[in-house]
Amino acid sequence: MSLYGTVINLNVFGATVRLENGELASAVPADVVAHRPQYERSLSARLRLAFVRHEGVRRPSVTLAPQISDDLLEEQIASYLKSTDEWESVDGIPAHERHFLRKKRRAAHWEPKQA
């Protein structure tokens, strides 16, 4: 079961996460090391992340759940695509079609000849 939470403390021994239900949980150091940028972004921007909750002795522990979407990455991709709009020639064949046609001609060259 995954819960959302925000990182409130980050150190060498792991991280402390406040879950959406108000409970505090510890993130294990190995998970923090593996996903350091996400933990740091959550700490600095109070970004909510999805965590998987595991029962612990004193308090629950959490690991970062696989993230399905990343808004920052989506914004970067959108801005890159907008910047490449001007690369396309207005009066010619679009680049993706030129690429497809070139590959199709090359593939036809290697197809076996019919007898």
pTM exceeding 0.75: no
Query: What is the rounded (10 degree) CA torsion for 49, 54, 59, 63?
Result: -40
Domain ranges of the chain: 2-64, 71-110
Mode of pairing for the β-strands spanning 61-64 and 14-19: unpaired
| Per-residue tens of pLDDT for the chain, all 115 residues | 679 999 999 999 999 999 999 999 999 999 999 999 999 999 999 999 999 999 877 889 999 998 677 788 888 988 888 887 777 666 677 777 777 777 888 888 787 766 5
* Angle, CA 102 vertex, CA 98 and CA 104 arms, to 5°: 115
> Is 49 within 8 Å of 60 (Cβ atoms)?
no
| Residue of 14, 81, 26 lying closest to 54 (CA atoms) | 26
Helices (H), the chain: 29-34, 36-45, 71-83, 95-110
What is the CATH T-level fold of the domain 2-64, as seen in this structure?
A: OB fold (Dihydrolipoamide Acetyltransferase, E2P) (2.40.50)
